[in-house]
Amino acid sequence: MHEYDLLVVGSANADLVIGVERRPGPGETVLGGDLAVHPGGKGANQAVAAARLGARTALLARVGDDDHGRLLLGSLRAAGVDPVGMLVGGAPTGVAVITVDRSGDNSIVVSPGANARLAAADVRAAGGLFGAARVVSTQLEIPVGTVVETVRSLAPGSRFVLNASPPAEVPAEVLAACDPLVVNEHEARALLGDPAGDDPRRWAWPLLALGPRSVVITLGAAGALVADGLSGPPVMVPSPRVEAVDTTGAGDAFTAALAWRLGLGEPLATAAAYAARVGAAAVTRKGAQASYPTEGELPAG
């Protein structure tokens, strides 16, 4: 019996959010609204999103001994995430500066802070968490060496999910463990270098050729494309139609829901359809973690 449905190894940031009429171009200054501070970071976001849905979740991450760190720890506890893996100190808490325009689209700059100090040694010291987890999920807002150590620490029979965001070079050892590799269109292009054409349906097989056992390409309002190396051609999974208010953190909610449902034994396309409902619900509210739904708040599939 696994103690956790999902162990997230990743980042925890304070999100500094400014609403703007439009995002600035190079060399341009625009006026925005009042600054809002929210708990965020891809790792913390995934953990909170999964816990809100009912998954037994733990997070291995590092924050600073500061107000932003205390904000994050409070948010995790309030959502029901087990904070046993949270480490404090080494650097200030990471910060993400986010601009959100009228359409709900965002641009993000991240200062890693304590996230850059989450080390391979921290992963090795958390071996008990890995043995207790059905699924382990991570992202690329922490050092790549820490991601490699995460793969090496997987317990027999556990499943590994990587959201390759932000784009970075991913070692072959990590790609080979992915089941699935989750990317959006920008991240897919970064991994493939120069993909053939503009149709993501043509990218699934080249991504699988990099080594992952399965691939999910998220397509925003269009849903997602899923490809399992063992089960035939790629499949499009639609997203419910909603009015987007803020897309911040929606991809993290999708990945968390996907990882949890895969751990329950659902097929990839079925889990992705559920995750698309979660991501759609998240974009209808402002913020990242504050936007994440409970099971009863999901739109119809």
- Give the confidence band of 266 by pLDDT, cuts at 50, 70, 90: very high
Given the residues 5, 122, 179, 252, the one annotated as active site: 252
Domain contains 28: no
Contact (CB, 8 A) for 255 and 224: no
The answer to the question of whether 5 is labelled as a binding residue is no
The answer to the question of whether 220 is labelled as a binding residue is yes
Average pLDDT over the chain, rounded to whole?
93
Domain contains 30: no
Residue 199: give its domain's CATH number. 3.40.1190.20
User: pLDDT digits over 182-200, tens only?
Assistant: 999 999 999 998 776 778 8
Q: Which of 152-156, 219-223, 279-283 has the highest mean pLDDT?
A: 152-156
Residue numbers of the domain that contains 140: 4-21+36-293
Domain contains 60: yes
Domain contains 285: yes
Residue 286 pLDDT exceeds 90: no
The answer to the question of whether 284 is labelled as a binding residue is no
Give all strands (DSSP E) within the chain, no chain letters: 4-9, 13-19, 36-40, 57-63, 86-88, 94-100, 106-111, 133-138, 159-163, 178-184, 214-218, 224-228, 235-237
Q: Which tops the pLDDT comparison, 175 or 240?
A: 175
The answer to the question of whether 152 is labelled as a binding residue is no
State how far the alpha carbon of 171 is from the alpha carbons of 42, 115, 145, 176, 226, in Å. 20, 19, 9, 9, 22
Domain contains 26: no
What's the structural domain count of the chain?
Answer: 1
Q: Which tops the pLDDT comparison, 42 or 100?
A: 42
Among 167, 125, 176, CA closest to 146: 125
Structure confidence at residue 196 (pLDDT): 66
The answer to the question of whether 41 is labelled as a binding residue is yes
Rounded to two decimals, the pTM is: 0.91
User: pLDDT digits over 7-20, tens only?
Assistant: 999 999 998 989 99
Phi, psi of 98 (to 5 degrees): -120, 130
Structure confidence at residue 57 (pLDDT): 98
User: pLDDT digits over 63-119, tens only?
Assistant: 999 999 999 999 999 999 999 999 999 999 999 898 988 887 888 888 999 999 999
Structure confidence at residue 298 (pLDDT): 86
- Give the confidence band of 27 by pLDDT, cuts at 50, 70, 90: very high
Instruction: Write the burial class of residue 90 (CB in 10 Å: 0-12 exposed, 13-18 middle, 19+ buried).
Output: middle
- % residues pLDDT > 90 (the chain): 78
Residue 2 pLDDT exceeds 90: no
- Give the confidence band of 272 by pLDDT, cuts at 50, 70, 90: very high
Residue 201 pLDDT exceeds 90: no
Structure confidence at residue 230 (pLDDT): 66
Q: Which tops the pLDDT comparison, 244 or 267?
A: 267
Domain contains 301: no
Active site residue 101: no
Structure confidence at residue 231 (pLDDT): 66
Domain contains 182: yes
User: pLDDT digits over 211-225, tens only?
Assistant: 999 999 999 989 999
Among 115, 111, 112, CA closest to 9: 115
Tokens representing 240 are: 């419910």
The answer to the question of whether 279 is labelled as a binding residue is no
The answer to the question of whether 82 is labelled as a binding residue is no
Residue 256 pLDDT exceeds 80: yes
Domain contains 256: yes
Q: How far apart are CA 244 and CA 282, in angstroms?
A: 9
